[in-house]
Structure 1
Amino acid sequence: MRVAVVTESFLPTVNGVTNSVCKVLDHLAATGHEAIVICPDAGAPSEYAGYAVHTVPALAYRQFPVGLPNPLVQRILTRFAPDVLHAASPFLLGAQGIAAANRLGVASVAVFQTDVAGYTMRHGVGLASSIAWRFVRWVHEGADLTLVPSSASQADLEAAGIPRLARWGRGVDLVRYHPNNRFTQATRALRELLSPDGEVVIGYVGRIAAEKQVERLRSLRGIPGIHLAIVGDGPYVPVVEKELRGMPVTMLGRLGGADLAAAYASFDIFVHTGTEETFGQTVQEAHASGLPVVAPRAGGPIDLVEPGIDGYLFSPADDHDLRASVAALAADAPLRRRMGEAGRRAVLGRTWESVCEELVGHYERVIVDRVLSVGDPLNTLV
């Protein structure tokens, strides 16, 4: 199979979209498929996993490169002649890729991964969510299939009138993120820094941006015997530091690889604060690491956390509920262990290999449907 991946984000930018695209490309390479990547020009490598990476001009918006429509996209796709186009979190570049695929008679799969409407509302762009949803609907109506990561996302897209939806989650590295990491030298050293007197470590991992609402951790002020550890960076760091001033907190900055795995392993509780996550990959990584999770009852975490079993879901707008959930876990070590073990069991079937094989099945489905539609004059594609 020949797969053209058009992504709004790619290396060296590190985020959920980039990570998912890289995992998909790794799987396609390991299973003998051909692929190319088209992404914004922001220092991307010339190849990845043996596949050519093509870049288009981009502009920066809030530290993110935004790929601009360019005639080069159509020419690249024409030369490569893909069987299917994979549009990762499509925006301007992805919309052009989907339109080009339709002109070429190529099947397309759009992966919904960013809450554009929620993001624009928070940052006050234009008329916010109503215009954003019209744009999202216009982009996704052109795709043969839109893959959504959670039940909440599916409900949002159905309400917006977006057709042809299917669920596709995300995998998690069960080897890198493992409870046994607690016993490594790196984790023990970090644990000594964060919990010198036996403090319960409350951890957060993710981008420090307005939509992540990390400043909500201020509601934990005064809970006895805790220490906050925040992994990540972003434009909202000064705000978070100001809001948490005077609390026992360590800002660890952005971490990756073994360092990130050690950070998870040094936590006792994982807290996710944002209410606009379409999935919640860090929730899965925390569960894989054997941690109980506290997250809002909104977006992706609804599907990932079983309340009372592997964590708690708090009322999205209620910081008192957030505090109560953390306080209950902080005071009960046996409960933390039981919930952490349940979280690990919950993700055992979510390897990237199985998730990517499911994605290839979606590719095959839209390719077949596209071929069948060519011979059926009553079947027209958007």
Structure 2
Amino acid sequence: MDASELRVALFTGNYNYVRDGANQALNRLVGYLLGKGAAVRIYSPTVPEPAFPATGDLIGIPALPVPGRAEYRFPLMIPRSIKRDIAAFAPNIFHVASPEILGHSAVTLARRSRLPVVASVHTRFETYFRYYGLAFLEPLVEALLRRFYRRCDAIFAPSESMAQLLREQRMSYDVGIWSRGIDRTIFQPERRCDAWRREQGIAPDDVVIGFVGRLVMEKGLDIFADTIDQLERRQVRHKVLVVGQGPAREWFEKRLPGAVFAGFQAGEALGRAVASMDMLFNPSITETFGNVTLEAMAAGLPVVAARATGSESLINDGVSGRLIQPGRTQAFADALQLYCEDAELRRTVGAAGLRSSIRYGWDEVNQALVDSYLRIVRQHRAGVRMVRQSPVP
């Protein structure tokens, strides 16, 4: 069996209606599979004006707006018409990318159809609640996630640090790696643009601390702002550049009145914005990989990040950046101050990060997942089942 014999049914809560790192990776995966001759069909909520064109055949799933986050859709059960479409497509493996109702329904359908099903893990959902005063729910959410992932034949994390966490949480008996790649034509030091910096009101001698990502509280915006407060009290010269959009932008602008907000950037414009920073500060603990961290490293920037899944696999602490215990604003400020005040250290650390980023290529990481698909399909056909799988409901 080779890749051209794969027929993959992919289920995800967001394929292209809002742009994020997870669905960018899924679209690249689908493009790679199609290039290998595989058949792929995607089932996800759709909107009239998505953030970007979908790669592959996308079939809309009924969904409702998420309360308080109307830009997102909450997918519902798989209707009969979609089940008929799935049957006509005749997949030989299911891939679920989000553990909500659609994901649960897809896993149930796969098992009833006696087909293998895998899941990819894209974010630490259990950590979200601590940003909204609901941290007491975290153990319950973790238990629900465990029940979901254990019904799959295998799960895939984007980094070894995340894979190890999933093993410790007993999420699955088969945990693999589907890493993330970098487009080095977009993210490179040569994209730095002094003219663009001037257009943003950034002086030539300003040392820029950058933030890149969706402006939502679970990205650690409060920790970012508190850390910048520390730098200002210490009178450390710096300028904050925020690249991204989201519902918390108004709150973030009020907390950082001196910052430059460049809004949403994509493609070459994003590469230019990242390379035009002098360092990246990523305090988030919710990512399972940290695409923005890798992009900054590829642009030759030192990165100060929370010691969390994803970042731990990317940053060599003290060599290509700094890893700080989550929430320790004073330690974050110490690391940022050092980079702000030492241009030669910034260059040395940024160069180390650039060298580390070279090993992340999209074709290599996607082929690793394709190889795992083939292994799991062969095992399933041979009658191999994962240990202690619960009965089909």
> Normalising by the residue count of structure 1, what TM-score does the alignment of the two structures yield?
0.92
- Whether the aligned pair in 2 keeps the contact of 1:44 and 1:55 (CA below 8 Å) is no
Q: Does 1:189 align with 2:199?
A: no
Amino acid of the residue matched to residue 77 of structure 2?
A: P
Cα separation, 2, equivalents of 1:336 and 1:88: 37
Change (3 A) 1:211 1:315: same
Show the 5 A alignment for 1:9-24.
9-24=14-29
Amino acid of the residue matched to residue 110 of structure 1?
A: A
Q: Does 1:206 align with 2:213?
A: yes
Q: Of the candidates 230, 238, 241, which is equivalent to residue 253 of structure 2?
A: 241
- Whether the aligned pair in 1 keeps the contact of 2:191 and 2:272 (CA below 8 Å) is yes
Change (3 A) 1:41 1:197: closer
TM-aligned CA deviation for residue 125 of structure 1? 6.0
Amino acid of the residue matched to residue 224 of structure 1?
A: V
- Paired residue secondary structure (1:336): helix
Change (3 A) 1:194 1:107: farther
TM-aligned CA deviation for residue 317 of structure 1? 1.9
Show the 5 A alignment for 1:93-132.
93-124=102-133, 128-132=137-141
Q: Does 1:8 align with 2:8?
A: no
Show the 5 A alignment for 1:335-350.
335-350=345-360
Change (3 A) 1:48 1:76: same
- Paired residue secondary structure (2:190): helix
TM-aligned CA deviation for residue 10 of structure 1? 1.4
- Paired residue secondary structure (1:373): coil
TM-aligned CA deviation for residue 379 of structure 1? 8.9
Structure 1 range deviating more: 345-354 or 152-161? 152-161
Q: Does 1:143 align with 2:152?
A: yes
Structure 1 residue runs of 4 or more that deviate by more than 4 Å after TM superposition? 44-47, 124-127, 378-382
Cα separation, 1, equivalents of 2:126 and 2:351: 36
What CA deviation, in whole Å up to 9, does each residue of 1:279-308 have, x standing for no partner?
A: 111000101111110101122111111111
Q: Of the candidates 306, 310, 317, which is equivalent to residue 316 of structure 2?
A: 306
Amino acid of the residue matched to residue 372 of structure 2?
A: H
- Whether the aligned pair in 2 keeps the contact of 1:5 and 1:87 (CA below 8 Å) is yes
TM-aligned CA deviation for residue 47 of structure 1? 7.8
Amino acid of the residue matched to residue 194 of structure 2?
A: R
Cα separation, 1, equivalents of 2:336 and 2:379: 48
TM-aligned CA deviation for residue 205 of structure 1? 0.4
Q: Does 1:290 align with 2:300?
A: yes
Show the 5 A alignment for 1:210-359.
210-218=217-225, 219-221=227-229, 222=232, 223-245=235-257, 248-359=258-369
Structure 1 range deviating more: 135-144 or 124-133? 124-133
Cα separation, 1, equivalents of 2:53 and 2:357: 31
Cα separation, 1, equivalents of 2:85 and 2:147: 23
Cα separation, 1, equivalents of 2:280 and 2:358: 18
- Paired residue secondary structure (1:295): strand
Amino acid of the residue matched to residue 110 of structure 2?
A: A
Structure 1 range deviating more: 148-157 or 54-63? 148-157
Q: Of the candidates 37, 43, 47, which is equivalent to residue 42 of structure 2?
A: 37
Amino acid of the residue matched to residue 109 of structure 1?
A: V
TM-aligned CA deviation for residue 351 of structure 1? 0.8
- Whether the aligned pair in 1 keeps the contact of 2:150 and 2:389 (CA below 8 Å) is no
Change (3 A) 1:76 1:328: same
Change (3 A) 1:43 1:362: farther
Q: Which runs of 5+ in 1 are unaligned?
A: none
- Whether the aligned pair in 1 keeps the contact of 2:194 and 2:204 (CA below 8 Å) is no
Cα separation, 2, equivalents of 1:380 and 1:16: 31
- Whether the aligned pair in 2 keeps the contact of 1:98 and 1:108 (CA below 8 Å) is yes
Q: Does 1:68 align with 2:73?
A: no
Could you tell me which residue of structure 2 aligns to residue 160 of structure 1?
169
TM-aligned CA deviation for residue 41 of structure 1? 3.1
- Paired residue secondary structure (2:57): strand
> Normalising by the residue count of structure 2, what TM-score does the alignment of the two structures yield?
0.89
- Paired residue secondary structure (1:275): coil
Cα separation, 2, equivalents of 1:231 and 1:339: 22
- Paired residue secondary structure (1:320): helix
Q: Does 1:53 align with 2:58?
A: yes
Corresponding pairs, count:
373
Structure 1 range deviating more: 357-366 or 274-283? 274-283
- Paired residue secondary structure (1:146): strand
Q: Which runs of 5+ in 2 are unaligned?
A: 1-5
